Amino acid sequence: MTELKNKRSRIEIWICDDSRPMANLLYGFIEKALKELHCNYWIETFYQGLDLIRFFQDELQKPDIIFLAARMKNTSGFRIAQDLQIQNCNALLIFVSLYEEMILPSLPFQPFGFIIKARMHLEVKPFLEKALIVLKRQEKNTLFYFYKGIEIKIPYTEIISIQSGQKCLKIIQTGNRESLLWNTLRNVYEVLPQQDFLKISASSIVNVQHVTGIEQKDILCSDGSRLPVSRSAYHAVLSFLNGRKEKA
C-alpha cells in the first residue's frame, strides 16, 4: 500500500542553460546554498530546452523549482516557459540571464524571480530561501505519495475526482491527466480537506470545486464526467452542496 505523506521528502530543482560552464556554475551555487539551508534535494541539469520539455512530459517526477536561461541558441527560455505553462507545470520559475533588459519580456510568464548571471553568487541563496517558504506553504494544499519509487505531488485544486479501480485508485486531474495510487479510498479521504472533498459513494470522491451540478443522482464534474451518488450518501451530498451554495 502506498504511503501518503503531508510534505515533500526533498526539493526537486531543474537547471536549463545551453552554456555548460554557466549551468555547472549555477549548479554549484544552488548546491552550496541548499546544503547551508540543510535541505534534502535533487538537481537535474539540461543543456537544451527541448530536453527539459521531453523529460517533463515523460517523467512522473516533477520539479519544484526551475532555473531557466532566458536566452539560448536553439530556442528561447521564454518559449520553454510557455510550453511548461501549457503542460500545467507548477514549478517556481526563476529566469537567469546575462542581460537586465530580458527582465521585462519575462514578466508575462510570472516568474518567481530573475537572476543576473554576474550576480548569481549573491542572488541564488536569497531566492532559494524565499522559494522554500512558498513551497512549505504549498504543502498544506498538496497530496504527496510515492509511486514506483518516485515522489508524486498533486495540488488539491488540480484533483477533480478520485475513483476506485480493481487494484488501485485513479486520480482524475485537470488538463486530461490521471495518476495512480495504491491505497484505499477511505485512507485517502481522511487526509484530504473535508471542506473541499466529498465522498459520494464507496468508490468515488469528488473535489467540490470541480462540481458543476447534480442531475438524476449523478454528480457532474468540470471535465464532463458523471459520477453516481450512492443511495446512502445522496441526502448528505445534496445537503453539503446546498450548504456551500448558501455560503457562496
Domain boundaries, the chain: 4-141, 150-247
- Please, where are the H alpha helices in the chain? 20-36, 49-58, 77-86, 103-106, 120-138, 185-191, 234-247
Mean pLDDT over the full length of the chain: 94
Cell readout for 104 is: 521585462
Q: pTM for the whole thing?
A: 0.89
List Cβ neighbours of 12 (8 Å cut-off, separation of 6 or more): 41, 42, 44, 61, 62, 63, 64, 65, 151
| In contact, 43 and 13? CB cutoff 8 Å | yes
pLDDT at residue 6, as a whole number: 85
Handedness of CA 198, 204, 209, 211 (dihedral sign): negative
- Give me the pLDDT at residue 3, please: 84
What integer pLDDT is reported at residue 2 of this predicted model?
A: 84
Alpha carbons 85 and 77: distance in angstroms, whole number: 12
45-79 in b/e burial notation, b at 16+ Cβ within 10 A? bbbbbeebbeebeeeebbbbbbbbbbbbeeebbbe
Rounded Cα distance between 143 and 152, Å, is: 8
Burial class (CB in 10 A: 0-12, 13-18, 19+), 81: buried
Cα–Cα distance measured from residue 12 to residue 75, given in angstroms and rounded to the nearest whole number: 24
Indicate the fold that domain 150-247 takes in CATH: OB fold (Dihydrolipoamide Acetyltransferase, E2P) (2.40.50)
CATH of domain 4-141: 3.40.50.2300
pLDDT tens-place values along the chain, 248 residues long: 888 988 999 999 999 999 999 999 999 999 999 999 999 999 999 999 999 999 999 888 899 999 999 999 988 999 999 999 999 999 999 999 999 999 999 999 999 999 999 999 999 999 999 999 999 999 999 999 998 888 999 999 999 999 998 889 999 999 999 999 999 999 999 999 999 999 999 999 999 999 999 998 999 999 999 999 999 999 989 888 887 766 65
Question: Given 3-state DSSP classes, what are the helix, strand and coil percentages for the chain, each rounded to the nearest 5?
Answer: 40, 30, 30
147-180 b/e with 16+ CB inside 10 Å = b? eeeebbbbeeebbbbbbbeeeebebbbeeeeebe
Sign of torsion over alpha carbons 39, 44, 49, 54:
negative
Rounded-to-integer distance, Cα 142 and Cα 140, Å: 6
- Say which residue the cell 545551453 belongs to: 18
